[in-house]
Amino acid sequence: MKVTILAIGKCKKNSPEALIIDEYVKRSGWMVAIKEKDNASQEEEAKFLQGNIPSGAKVVVLDERGENMKSLELAAKIENWMLNGCSEICFLIGGADGHLQSTRDRADLLLSFGKLTLPHMLMRAVLAEQIYRIQTIVNHHPYHRE
């Protein structure tokens, strides 16, 4: 499985968040790539996000209006996509003002990580861990415990 994370804002190299992200990306058996863009207008951010979605990828837009799922539910959805021929997923993390409706409309899954507001770099670290967790659930690895 290929995973692309498209994110607004640049993560500082060797920051605590970057180290966490790097650790979970290394652990994952999936190919994970992260593309970033500096903060800009919502329109410019949307153009970057929508313009960099890999062809044929399922799109997961992280948004406060999205569905709040358990890790097992998200893993089951992604595993179902994989069983139906999906080989690439793209996660979109917007800027401080969130996503335009056109970006939300592009989503195969609109996903919320809860009602808390998290700093963007910390959200990336949480997402990286969840990608690793999903992979372990799909592969029946004991990392995730119920």
pTM reported for the whole predicted model: 0.95
**Structural domains of the chain, ranges and CATH numbers in brackets:** 2-138 (3.40.1280.10)
Q: What is the dihedral of CA 16, 100, 80, 33, to 10 degrees?
A: -40
pLDDT given at position 146: 61
Query: Residue 4: is its pLDDT beyond 90?
Result: yes
User: CA separation (Å) from 26 to 4, 15, 98, 113?
Assistant: 14, 16, 28, 23
**Segment 38-68, tens digit of pLDDT:** 999 999 999 999 999 999 999 999 999 999 9
Per-residue pLDDT reduced to its tens digit, 67-119: 999 999 999 999 999 999 999 999 999 998 999 999 999 999 999 999 888 88
Chain segment 19-34, per-residue pLDDT in tens: 999 999 999 999 999 9
pLDDT at res. 92: 98
Report whether pLDDT(145) > 80: no
> What burial class does residue 93 get, using C-beta atoms within 10 Å of its C-beta: 0-12 exposed, 13-18 middle, 19+ buried?
buried
Give the type of residue at 50. Answer: Q
Is residue 125's pLDDT more than 80? yes
113: its two tokens: 């990580």
Nearest residue to 119 via CA among 96, 103, 92, 97: 96
Per the CB < 8 A criterion, the answer to whether 78 and 138 are in contact is yes
Q: How far apart are CA 104 and CA 92, in angstroms?
A: 10
Average pLDDT on 119-140 reads 95
- Give the pLDDT of residue 144: 77
Torsion of CA 70, 16, 99, 88, to 10 degrees: -60
Q: Give the list of residues 6+ apart from residue 30 with CB closer than 8 angstroms, or none.
A: 1, 2, 3, 131, 135
What is the Cα–Cα distance from 28 to 49, expressed in whole angstroms? 23
Is 143 or 84 the better-scoring residue by pLDDT? 84
